[in-house]
Amino acid sequence: QVQLVESGGGLVQPGGSLRLSCAASLSIFGFNSMGWYRQAPGKQRELVASITSVGLTIYADSAKGRFTISRDNAKNTVYLQMNSLKPEDTAVYYCRAARQFDYWGQGTQVTVSS
C-alpha cells in the first residue's frame, strides 16, 4: 500500500516562508504525477502545484511566482517551497500521488497569521 507522509507545516507570519515535504513509500518514478492540494475551512480542495514523472510542472494562478514544487528522486520526496506567504494561504495542505489510483497524505496545517 502506498503511503504519503507530509511534514513542514506550521505557523508563519505574512511574508514568511515554509517548505513542505511529502515522503512516499515507493519510488516517485512509479507515479504519473505528484502534487500539492490545499483546503481552507469552508472551501473546496484546490490544486496548488503538481509535477509529472518527467519533471513537467503546473501551478495554480495563486501560487505562480511564490511557490515552487520540486522532487528528490533519491529520497522519494516531493517538496513545496512556499515564499511570500499570505493569510489566504492558510489551509491544510495535502500531498497527492497519481498512478492507477490516487493516493493522499493526511495533510499538514499551514497557518499564516500575525
**What is the average pLDDT score of the chain?**
95
Instruction: Read off the pLDDT of residues 75-103 as tens digits, 9 standing for 90 and up.
Output: 999 999 999 999 999 999 999 999 889 99
What mean pLDDT do residues 2-15 have? 96
pLDDT of residue 28 exceeding 90 = no
User: How would DSSP label each residue in the chain?
Assistant: ---EEEE--EEE-TT--EEEEEEESS-GGGSSEEEEEEE-TTS--EEEEEEETT--EEE-TTTTTTEEEEEEGGGTEEEEEE-S--GGG-EEEEEEEESSSEEE---EEEEE--
